[in-house]
Structure 1
Amino acid sequence: MQLSSLQNGSDIRGVAMGPQANLTAKEVDTLSRAFALWLAERTQHSALRVAVGMDARLSGPALKEACITALADCGLFVLDCGMASTPAMFMTTVSDQTHCDGAVMLTASHLPSDRNGMKFFTCQGGLESGEITALLRLSEGDLPRGRAGQVQTFDFISIYAEGLRQKIQQETGQTQPLKGLKILVDAGNGAGGFYAEKVLQPLGADIQGSQFLEPDGHFPHHIPNPENAEAMQSLVDAVIRHNADFGLIFDTDVDRVGAVDKGGVVLNKNRLIAAISAVLLRETPGAAIVTDSITSTGLAEFIKAHGGIHRRFKRGYKNVINEAIRLNHAGQYTPLAIETSGHAALKENYFLDDGAYLATRLVIEVARLHQKGLCIADLLADLSEPAESCEFRLAIRTDAFRDFGQSLIQALFAYADTQPSFQLAPENHEGIRVQFSPEEGDGWFLLRLSLHEPLIAINIESERAGGVHIIAQQLMKFLSAYQGELELSPLASYLT
């Protein structure tokens, strides 16, 4: 098997358990040695330090051991951080207490329990897609081995949590700023349980009612994913049942977060973006907020009304982060890059997509508003939300799915020029976004090629009941010519 088949953008992803396993201790050994070589060439350091952590997956301990053993055999000093979060592993490269040249996180985010993967970091952030490709090329050559390194067990998640506690204390000016607040955490049996016990509780919060804090790679209760409807409903029910002031839900490796406000008000997707945007734009009016491509018209209006500039960009957390960095370099202050999935990276935090840091920023605001008898949902009073929204994912049946997807999008651009009701959205950076007047559906659709899967993704929103159906009908007239190459049944079923 070619290791290059394991590349998933800027990550390594594979099946780690069962008869189809293609990411085993053997592959991790090779990739870890390649990372050691890549890091040595990049840093020119003779004595390298690397931290290694894992999420709650059942395959994690064996793969972590393979990674640590390989790195030590390359002569590195290795910190075994055990159960950790992806953002915490990056922080080992910038922390004064660890001074690591690099870090490795064993995780496959929200993917099924039989999957696993590897994320690689330096103090510059996660490796980019091109750097992963270079690392994979190195894995095909001679790799270092037979050098006696050292391994030290290191509880870095407690140091990371201490930094988050200090942030809350500094911003509120209190040692126990969460006293009198009931804040729940749903970790989904991933790696995020530490946030309740090591961040919230020491600051005075009542965390009774928090759920699924214990790591369990079977993920027995629900998928640890803030985008998953069942997972969000589980937290909504807990917040209502325990009359909590706020609730937080993390994905498996804690680089994403969703929230639920008092009374069970869901704060994810556009609402989550609006909430943190309101906080940041109060602090720095005139700033730009970078989001992914599927955000709503109402969110764009909300950001503008709060004195900000909305920059809608491509999906993919690396894409929005890099665009925010580019804007800052160009002179436009941009404090936030965020996706509707819950990936959020703040300039003040190394532009690291860090679910626990975003949660911390929200908790600070919860404490501030609580003193005034308000809650996060009050920040969203002027957020206009669509009457309807739907997403359709259409499988591509051809092997050359990227070529097909690009040709389909180009054909749709040409088709849109012939349709009076199709109004191309200005400054769209992914796929094709088309707007419709009140008479023709009062909304928009975005059609794009999935980042990693052979799928065409379609998002449709409308400001009125029945509007999505009207827009979908108009789009279906174009797509029906591709029924041989596209699985149209999800859209067809909706229209019948």
Structure 2
Amino acid sequence: MTQSSLKFGTSGLRGLADELNGVPAYAYTSAFAEMLKADAPPGWTGEVLIGRDLRRSSPDIAALCGAALSGAGLIPLDAGEVPTPALALHGQRHGLPSLMVTGSHIPDDRNGLKFYRASGEIDKADEVRISTLHAALAPDLFQPPAARSAMQTVDVLPDYTRRYTETFGSEGLRGLRVGVYQHSSVARDLMVQIVTALGAEAVPLGRSDSFVPVDTEALREEDKALALQWASETRLDAIVSTDGDADRPLVADETGHFLRGDLLGVLSARQLGAEIVVTPVTSNSGIETSGAFAGVRRTRVGSPFVIEGMVEALRTATGPVLGFEANGGVLLGSAVPRGHGVIEALMTRDAMLPILCALSEIAAGRRLSEVAASAGFTSARSDRLKDVDPSRSAAFLERLGDAAFVQRELGDLGPLDDVGALDGVRIRAASGDVVHFRASGNAPELRVYVEAAGQEQAGRLLDWALGVAERNTR
């Protein structure tokens, strides 16, 4: 059986939906089940949560996952269409492993599986175990059931909703008028409910019947135009949204301009009093220069690497540890008292926490445009080349290790200060400009990140860097 598009990337197994929807979904879930049974903690009843996003293929894939769990002697619980962090939180509170059927932000023709132990996301070692067990199961011989079997349903949303209503308070966002860009986010109605419960007026916008691939690190031009249009047509203090499975936030200020995801992470870390922040190498250099945190630890891109860094930081930290990615998803490593409750640790990406922290800045009397302008971040831009053969991306990144090639292709940057290979190739010029190339772990794409002294310069640098990448990968 050929599964060329299916692989574990920065967050879970992903690939073409047509290739996942069938024996592969059944087989990979069976492998996950075997791992869970081998590591079963005392008292576990064999129940496993299943959630899904709003993609066309997700219901069928979720049914296959349920059949695989049943076939392995476990008990699948259908959580329905829910945010990934809500599913993980319920599993954490009730001692249940889970899996989420989602392709996150990637297009509708792709999908994926995210696996969770009761304690949180699986790590890279677990991914290897699942892949090894999958290979040993001889999936070519599997014959998933033709008919769906009924699953017991479970409501995971109350736990997640209380996480915020008890800590941000019913008056926490009083007086704010918040646009909620609903599109096809699995949290589109939940966002309205939570924002309203905290005292704000929620204005639903842009609901879509078809799946919209909102990538918070590489926004579509139409999303940018919509936010500017909505902000000009009506008074809004902010516009909020998420990606498909609601683990990445999207926040625009009162003028309709989107805030960077890593800035949302910093705002969250400041509000929650983080001592140490853990973030990938793609996040802005201004995090260190701000001096806001006792420690900043850099990792490769992907939540498993951030979690690994957070676990290490927790061994020595005396205060809260918080992780975030450049896409804005926040992972909380420590329980933090707030309001009339405690925001418990949740070491998986969450969109709602950074959204509410950003809105709390407005409730405290600051416009988000002012917050962004005073953050001390360098001007940063990012984009991607789509449909790039992974072998060509790999060859290009390897050639960036050759000094003669770098001089020929990137000589316009001037003298270089540093070349890092923690994840892809990140080049810092003596001028302070940064160009970072890395292959996506989720799709056949080459991502490009830049930093410069101003937005116009960053835009020119990004266009130039994309040209270099395209010339060497097409």
Q: TM-score range by the shorter chain?
A: 0.7 to 0.9
Q: Is the Cα–Cα contact under 8 Å of residues 405 and 456 in structure 1 kept in the other structure?
A: no
* Residue 162 of structure 1 pairs with residue 165 of structure 2: no
| Aligned counterparts of 2:87 and 2:463: Cα–Cα separation in 1 | 47
Give structure 2 stretches of 5+ with no counterpart. Answer: 335-344
Q: Given the alignment of the two structures, is residue 266 of structure 1 paired with residue 258 of structure 2, yes or no?
A: yes
Match of 2:204 in 1: 210
Partner residue in 2 for 1:30: 27
How far apart, CA to CA, are the structure 1 residues paired with 2:23 and 2:296?
A: 46
For these two proteins, the number of residue pairs brought into alignment is 451
Task: Specify which of 300, 303, 316 is matched with residue 317 of structure 1.
Answer: 303
Secondary structure of residue in 2 paired with 1:410: coil
Specify whether residues 412 and 131 from structure 1 end up closer, same or farther in structure 2 by C-alpha distance, changes over 3 A only: farther
The alignment status of 1:354 with 2:350, answered yes or no, reads yes
Query: Which residue does the alignment assign to 1:491?
Result: none
What CA distance in whole angstroms lies between the structure 2 residues aligned with 1:56 and 1:142? 31
Deviations 1:125-177 (A, max 9, x none): 2222332232233233289999xx983211212332232212212xxxxx333
CA contact (8 A) 1:313 1:428 kept: no
Match of 2:342 in 1: none
Higher mean C-alpha displacement, 55-64 vs 336-345? 336-345
For the pair 1:408 / 2:402, whether they are aligned, the reply is no
Q: Determine helix, strand or coil for the equivalent of 1:223.
A: coil
Once the two structures are superposed, residues 81-106 of structure 1 have per-residue CA deviations (whole angstroms, 9 ceiling, x without a partner) of: 111111111112222xxx24310111
Shift of 1:421: 4.2
Q: Deviations over 1:202-253 (max 9, x none)?
A: 333211x212457x4x22xx53333314224423432443312222110000
Give the Å deviation of 1:321.
3.0
Asked which structure has the greater RCO (Cα within 8 Å, sep 6+), the reply is 2
**Other structure's SS at 1:120 match:** strand
1:445 aligns with 2:435: yes
Aligned-pair CA distance for 1:299: 4.5
Whether the 8 Å CA contact 2:51–2:80 is kept in 1: the answer is: yes
Report if the CA contact (8 A) 1:244-1:262 is conserved. yes
* Aligned pair partner of 1:238 in 216, 230, 233: 230
1:462 correspondence with 2:443: no
Indicate the larger mover: 386-395 or 242-251: 386-395
1:406-445 matched pairs, under 5 angstroms: 407-412=398-403, 421-425=414-418, 429-438=422-431, 443-445=433-435
Q: Residues 448 and 466 of structure 2 are in contact (CA less than 8 Å); yes or no, is this contact kept in structure 1? A: no
1:462 aligned partner, one-letter code: A
Distance (Å, rounded) in 1 between the aligned partners of 2:185 and 2:234: 22
**Given residue 258 of structure 1, which amino acid in structure 2 is its aligned partner?**
L
Change (3 A) 1:472 1:51: closer
User: AA paired with 2:156?
Assistant: F
CA RMSD of aligned residues (A): 3.8
Partner of 1:58: 56
CA 1:454–1:114 in structure 2 vs 1: closer, same or farther (change >3 Å)? closer
Using the TM superposition, give the Cα deviation of residue 414 of structure 1 relative to its aligned residue in structure 2, in angstroms.
9.1
Q: Distance in 2 between matches of 1:163 and 1:469?
A: 39
1:80 is aligned to: 78
Alpha-carbon shift at residue 398 of structure 1 (Å): 8.1
Q: 2: distance between equivalents of 1:431 and 1:234? A: 33
1-side partners of 2:111 and 2:390: how far apart?
27
Residue 23 of structure 1 and its aligned partner are, at CA, apart by 1.3
Displacement after TM superposition at 1:468 (Å):
5.9
Structure 2 residue matching 1:82: 3-state secondary structure? strand
Percent same amino acid among aligned pairs?
21
Counterpart among 112, 116, 125 of residue 117 in structure 1: 112
Per-residue deviation, 1:3: 5.3
TM-score between both structures, scaled by the size of structure 1: 0.78
Which letter maps to 1:24?
N
Secondary structure of 2:20 counterpart: coil
Q: Taking structure 2 as the reference length, what is the TM-score of the superposition?
A: 0.81
Where does residue 340 of structure 2 map in the other structure? none
Please name the residue that 1:252 is paired with.
244
- Check 1:260–1:29 CA distance in 2 against 1; reply closer, same or farther (3 A cut): same
Q: Sort the Cα spacing of 1:310 and 1:33 in 2 relative to 1 into closer, same or farther, 3 A.
A: closer
Q: Aligned pair in 2 of structure 1 residues 117, 165: CA closer, same or farther (>3 Å)?
A: same
**1:276 aligns to 2:268 (yes or no):** yes
Alpha-carbon separation, structure 2, partners of 1:473 and 1:244: 32
Which position in structure 2 is the counterpart of 1:493? none
In structure 2, C-alpha distance between the alignment counterparts of 1:266 and 1:188, rounded to whole Å: 16
Q: Which runs of 5+ in 1 are unaligned?
A: 170-174, 488-496
Q: Which segment drifts farther, 158-167 or 32-41?
A: 158-167
Query: 1:454: Cα distance to partner?
Result: 5.9
Which residue is equivalent to 1:179? 174
Looking at structure 2, the residues matched to 93 and 333 of structure 1 have their Cα atoms a distance apart, in angstroms, of: 25
Structure 1 residue 486 corresponds to structure 2 residue 473: yes
